[in-house]
Amino acid sequence: KALRTGASPDREPFKPWLAALVVAARAHGLLAIDGVFNRIEDVDGLAAEAAQGRLYGFDGKSLIHPSQIAAANAAFAPSEAEVQAAQAVVAAFAAPEAEGRGAIRVGGAMVERLHLGQAEALLARHAEATNRR
């Protein structure tokens, strides 16, 4: 409201601020939580906005109704393919031939130690979410 932007289903006017929020959160070691989606009955709209939030780097979404939990979990939880890819990266760097190497080939792509850190973080989030169920 204070920005005086127009409403847009793709949040076009807010994209610079969404990105800036994620950058600020990362700079301070904080989680970035996307804002609420007020149209409770619009399941597809919520799913699209949550997917967009994940694409922008948000860690989760503020929810205002229990009916929104499943869509948010679906958008922000790692997919099985992401979990398997992360496991492959961790296993590849754990192999004796990777010792001391900064970059290795995994599944036809070059991955670096920074990808190992990302893979380990993804697996930790997945384990935490799985243990809560």
Indicate if the pLDDT at residue 12 is higher than 90: yes
Domain count, the chain: 2
Q: Which residue has the tokens 């990266």?
A: 89
Q: Which residue has the tokens 């994209």?
A: 15
- Does 33 map to a domain? yes
pLDDT digits (tens, 9 = 90+) for 50-95: 999 999 999 999 999 999 999 999 999 999 999 999 999 999 999 9
Q: How far apart are CA 17 and CA 22, in angstroms?
A: 9
Q: Which residue has the tokens 């994620």?
A: 22
- Does 6 map to a domain? no
Q: How far apart are CA 113 and CA 90, in angstroms?
A: 10
Q: Are residues 20 and 39 in the same domain?
A: yes
Question: Hey, is 10 helix, strand or coil?
Answer: coil
The domain of 45 spans: 12-76
Q: How far apart are CA 86 and CA 25, in angstroms?
A: 24
Nearest to 77, CA basis, from 38, 19, 130: 130
- Pairing type for strands 33-34 and 109-112 reads unpaired
pLDDT digits (tens, 9 = 90+) for 102-130: 999 999 999 999 999 999 999 998 998 78
Q: Letter for the amino acid at 114?
A: L
- Does 63 map to a domain? yes
pLDDT digits (tens, 9 = 90+) for 35-52: 999 999 999 999 999 999
Q: Which of 60, 76, 92 is the last residue of a domain?
A: 76
- pTM attached to this predicted model: 0.82
